[in-house]
Structure 1
């Protein structure tokens, strides 16, 4: 029997609880790449994805940094770990 995790996708236009395993969550988040980039740019002064946070003043440059200096996989894993996993309730 697989476990499903209930959480709300903060990037969906009409957020509602989603029941999914981690792999399904990662696939779902992949469709929200630009929304994740916008979220990071709007909510963090320094890039939270790197080992050494880099402060970037210009939002356009910051979005470009997220888009090109980090892989899509890094961004999705970061969003899952920091935005989805923290609100999860696990159901059988």
Structure 2
């Protein structure tokens, strides 16, 4: 399964509580790979402020569903960072591993 998911947390300056909630749920997640992560990017969607968008890899589909994320394609690497989890997940995207 290679379906990714995304959740737009809105204005990055106001997204702290929602981000903390997602991070807490991630930490409670059992049976997750030690190299998985929720990824994030600040995206300018034509509004005054950038928005914080989270990307959930296929192995975190259950977590994505819990936070109302919706299906998307695999994110591009540009500007992508780790919200919570292993930095190895970014390297996996770079080399095309772990869809």
Common fold, TM-score beyond 0.5? Answer: no
Give the TM-score, by structure 2 length. 0.28
Task: Give the number of the structure whose alpha-carbon radius of gyration is greater.
Answer: 1
